[in-house]
Amino acid sequence: MGAPTSSILFEIYLQYAESTKIYDIPRNSRVERYFRYVDDVLLVYNENLTDIKETLISFNNITPDLNFTLEREQENKLKFLDLTITKATN
């Protein structure tokens, strides 16, 4: 386990990265929604408008200190934190 201040410093760093570098990526990639809780990020996007692999590359090019990974929905369901998010189909 790290130092007691490490989680606070990480949060400060991520907020800085969001305001300077991450802010433009979802907008330029036409991501509909960006959510973050601590170190977990959820992107809501339209597959016809957003190249999610290019978006992932953009996130990973921010800094070598952060490594973003991609988890896609399966059977219209996605696990995020302790939740299972289900996509409604009309």
Domain map of the chain by residue range?
6-86
pLDDT digits (tens, 9 = 90+) for 12-65: 999 999 999 899 999 999 999 999 998 899 999 999 999 999 999 999 999 888
Q: What is the DSSP letter of 2?
A: -
Position 88 scores a pLDDT of 85
> Which amino acid would we find at residue 9?
L
Average model confidence (pLDDT) across the chain:
90
Tell me how many degrees the CA angle 43-5-19 measures, rounded to the nearest 5.
35
pLDDT digits (tens, 9 = 90+) for 75-86: 999 999 999 999
Contact in structure between 54 and 70 (CB atoms under 8 Å): no
- What pTM did the predictor assign? 0.83
